[in-house]
């Protein structure tokens, strides 16, 4: 098998020739600091990992009723940018800050409940540029071609609830689910319709899998009851829409998962990630997760990159790979991967991670 075949076999709930081994998004900080600015494919080549090519290309949107302008705000510590969205009936503003690792929101876009009326009336949904996606896919025939359901303009994430959390702020959003649940559902429906428009444009796009979900839907952030009422009804419909146009969905939950594993599976997804372990602040027991999910649900992640990509021996890294395989991967349907991003790592430990996974064979 080549890498793409191997990864797809696991996603389809099968046993590949050996344990697939890869990583979540490769961070530019890591590439710059440790690999002299190498690109993603060079990263996968150097460490012998099964490559993923992440690509999201949308057609240009020209709409005078949804205009976005930006201005830099002087700040001694971080690149700070204010964005202004102008519509015929009013404006919305948000402020983002950046450092060498990531970016974050310091002023949320939705400040008053009436702000969602502007989004509902004027926001323009992205549409997939299939021709460019397919051309890129043909350039990387050995790699899994992966994308994501787009988040909201400027700062958003794939799932409807996760997108809403980015726009409102997660603490405030949780409180409003109790105080005004109808308003939250109206916002989620607006976001759903934008994502639905994108998904319906995907027919014929040569993606292997697309990401949905987000960490604010994890059980370390919200209760199973909130998940069932405010997450599942919207994301499950997006998954159904994706399947109608021949696309597979991996549901991303970076955080607690154990109390909602069955809830996530019931969404109808094709794969699940990230299975973040207790040592990284979440709750996942891989063996119990496999028992709950059954042998054919593809599990991606599970590896503790905090403790086994730094400050340990290669033997310890190898032992952790083997532990993950024994717990979740012996019957297939498992892709070992760091449970979400990493910024720093000892290169010898990534080599040990990759090499040991290749020794995990199916009889």
Establish if 279 belongs to a structural domain.
Answer: yes
DSSP letter at 216 equals G
Digit-coded pLDDT (tens) for 1-18? 999 999 999 999 999 999
Specify whether the CB–CB gap between 245 and 210 falls below 8 A: no
* Cα 166 off chain centre by: 14
Encode burial over 272-297: b for 16+ CB neighbours within 10 A, e otherwise: bbbbbbeebebbbbbeebbeebeeeb
Q: Which domain holds residue 106?
A: 62-113
Question: Residue 302: left if φ>0, alpha if ψ -120 to 50, beta else—which one?
Answer: left
- Give yes or no: residues 159 and 181 share one domain: yes
Instruction: Please compute the mean of the pLDDT values over residues 160-165 and round it to a whole number.
Output: 98
What pLDDT is recorded for position 62? 80
Instruction: Please compute the mean of the pLDDT values over residues 159-178 and round it to a whole number.
Output: 98
Strand extents, DSSP E, the chain: 52-54, 67-73, 79-87, 90-98, 103-107, 144-148, 209-213, 249-252, 271-274, 298-303, 334-338
- Give yes or no: residues 98 and 197 share one domain: no
Task: Give, in order, the Cα–Cα distances in Å from 305 to each of 278, 318, 338.
Answer: 12, 12, 5
- Give yes or no: residues 189 and 228 share one domain: yes
Establish if 119 belongs to a structural domain.
Answer: no
Digit-coded pLDDT (tens) for 207-244? 999 999 999 999 999 999 999 999 999 999 999 999 99
Establish if 131 belongs to a structural domain.
Answer: yes
Question: Residue 12: which of 335, 363, 358, 359 has the closest Cα?
Answer: 335
Task: Give, in order, the Cα–Cα distances in Å from 341 to each of 18, 111, 130, 223.
Answer: 24, 30, 28, 24
Collapsing DSSP to helix, strand or coil, 220 comes out as coil
Q: What's the maximum distance between 2 C-alpha atoms anywhere in the chain?
A: 64
- Give yes or no: residues 54 and 86 share one domain: no
Specify whether the CB–CB gap between 9 and 356 falls below 8 A: no
Q: Helix (H) and strand (E) counts for the chain?
A: 15, 11
- Give yes or no: residues 280 and 319 share one domain: yes
Establish if 363 belongs to a structural domain.
Answer: no
| Structural domain ending residue among the three candidates 93, 113, 133 | 113
Total domains present in the chain: 2
Specify whether the CB–CB gap between 32 and 347 falls below 8 A: no
User: CA-CA distance, 242 to 196, in Å (whole number)?
Assistant: 9
- Give yes or no: residues 37 and 90 share one domain: no
**Which sign, positive or negative, has the C-alpha torsion 329, 306, 250, 201?**
negative
What pLDDT is recorded for position 186? 98
Joined tokens for residue 222: 């919200």
- Give yes or no: residues 52 and 67 share one domain: no
**Residue 35: which CATH number?**
3.20.20.210
Give the DSSP letter string of 313-352: -HHHHHHHHHHHIIIIITTS-EEEEESS--S---HHHHHH
- Give yes or no: residues 56 and 66 share one domain: no
- Give yes or no: residues 159 and 234 share one domain: yes
Instruction: Please compute the mean of the pLDDT values over residues 264-283 and round it to a whole number.
Output: 96
Digit-coded pLDDT (tens) for 323-339? 999 999 999 999 999 99
Specify whether the CB–CB gap between 275 and 235 falls below 8 A: no
Digit-coded pLDDT (tens) for 71-99? 999 999 999 999 999 999 999 999 999 99
What pLDDT is recorded for position 228? 98
Establish if 73 belongs to a structural domain.
Answer: yes
Cite the DSSP H helix spans in 35-180.
40-47, 115-122, 130-139, 160-168, 170-179
Establish if 118 belongs to a structural domain.
Answer: no
Digit-coded pLDDT (tens) for 258-268? 999 999 999 99
What pLDDT is recorded for position 361? 96
User: CA-CA distance, 349 to 335, in Å (whole number)?
Assistant: 18
User: CA-CA distance, 144 to 40, in Å (whole number)?
Assistant: 13
- Give yes or no: residues 163 and 188 share one domain: yes
Q: Tell me the average pLDDT of the chain.
A: 97
Pairing label, strands 103-107, 90-98: antiparallel
**pTM over 0.75, yes/no:** yes
Question: Residue 89: left if φ>0, alpha if ψ -120 to 50, beta else—which one?
Answer: alpha
- Give yes or no: residues 215 and 82 share one domain: no
| Structural domain ending residue among the three candidates 72, 88, 113 | 113
- Give yes or no: residues 56 and 67 share one domain: no
């Amino acid at each position: 098998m080549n890498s793409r075949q191997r990864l797809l076999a696991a996603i389809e709930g099968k046993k590949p020739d050996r344990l697939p081994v890869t990583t979540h998004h490769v961070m530019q900080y890591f590439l710059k600091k440790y690999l002299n600015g190498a690109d993603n494919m060079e990263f996968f080549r150097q460490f012998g990992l099964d490559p993923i090519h992440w690509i999201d290309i949308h057609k240009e949107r020209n709409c005078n009723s949804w205009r976005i302008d930006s201005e830099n705000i002087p700040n001694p510590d971080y690149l700070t940018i204010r964005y202004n969205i102008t519509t015929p009936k009013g404006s919305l503003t948000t402020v983002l800050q950046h450092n060498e690792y990531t970016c974050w929101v310091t002023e949320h876009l939705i400040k008053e409940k009436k702000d969602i009326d502007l989004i509902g009336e004027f926001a323009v949904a992205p549409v997939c540029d299939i021709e460019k996606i397919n051309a890129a896919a043909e350039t990387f025939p050995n790699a899994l071609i992966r994308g994501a359901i787009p988040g909201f303009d400027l700062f958003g994430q794939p799932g409807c609830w996760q997108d809403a959390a980015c726009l409102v702020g997660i603490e405030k959003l949780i409180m409003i689910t109790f105080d005004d649940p109808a308003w939250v559902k109206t916002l989620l429906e607006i976001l759903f319709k934008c994502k639905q428009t994108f998904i319906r444009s995907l027919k014929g796009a040569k993606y292997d899998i697309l990401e949905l979900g987000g960490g604010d839907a994890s059980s370390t952030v919200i209760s199973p009851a909130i998940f069932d009422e405010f997450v599942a009804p919207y994301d499950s419909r997006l998954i159904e829409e994706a399947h109608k146009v021949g696309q597979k969905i991996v549901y991303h939950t970076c955080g607690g998962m154990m109390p909602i594993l069955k809830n996530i599976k019931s969404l109808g997804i094709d794969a699940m990630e990230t299975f973040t372990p207790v040592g990284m602040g979440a709750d996942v027991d891989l063996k119990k997760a496999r028992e709950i999910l059954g042998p054919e649900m593809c599990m991606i992640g599970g590896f503790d990159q905090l403790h086994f990509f730094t400050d340990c021996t290669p033997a310890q890294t190898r032992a952790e790979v083997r532990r993950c395989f024994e717990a979740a991967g012996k019957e297939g349907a498992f892709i070992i991967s760091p449970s979400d991003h990493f910024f720093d790592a000892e290169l010898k430990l990534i080599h040990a991670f990759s090499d040991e996974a290749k020794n995990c064979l199916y009889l």
